[in-house]
Amino acid sequence: MQADTFIPRRLDDQWKIGLWDADVAAPFMFALFVGFTAGTKLGFMVCAGIGFWLSRTLARVKADKHPSFAMHWAYWALPTNPITAMRCTPPSHIRRMVG
């Protein structure tokens, strides 16, 4: 029974898109989509530049923080709606916990 088995060392890594984390790549991909729908080369280049700038800024803000910093910030700072509401946690506008 000489089988090479791969044992992963890190199970809780962030999702990756290329070399970027998924939450850092999302603004760039959204900006590429908006630039593609603009229909002009100039609009595409401007949106790609803005998306790249947003992704770099988010990566720098997130650099020394928890890996899920962007998701935690979005939960606490953005308004809740039925799509993003979590059932197992209280709403983000309730700041004081009892217990």
pLDDT tens-digit profile of 77-91? 777 677 666 666 666
> Can you tell me which residue has the tokens 């999702």?
15
Residue 80 per-residue DSSP state: P
Task: Give the per-residue pLDDT at 47.
Answer: 95
What distance in Å separates the CA atoms of residue 30 and residue 63, rounded to the nearest whole number? 21
12-68: pLDDT as tens digits: 777 778 878 888 898 999 999 999 999 899 999 999 999 999 999 988 888 888 877
Task: Give the per-residue pLDDT at 85.
Answer: 64
> Which residues in the chain belong to E strands, given as ranges?
16-17, 20-21
Task: Give the per-residue pLDDT at 67.
Answer: 77
Q: Is there a contact between 27 and 58 (Cβ–Cβ < 8 Å)?
A: yes
Task: Give the per-residue pLDDT at 54.
Answer: 92
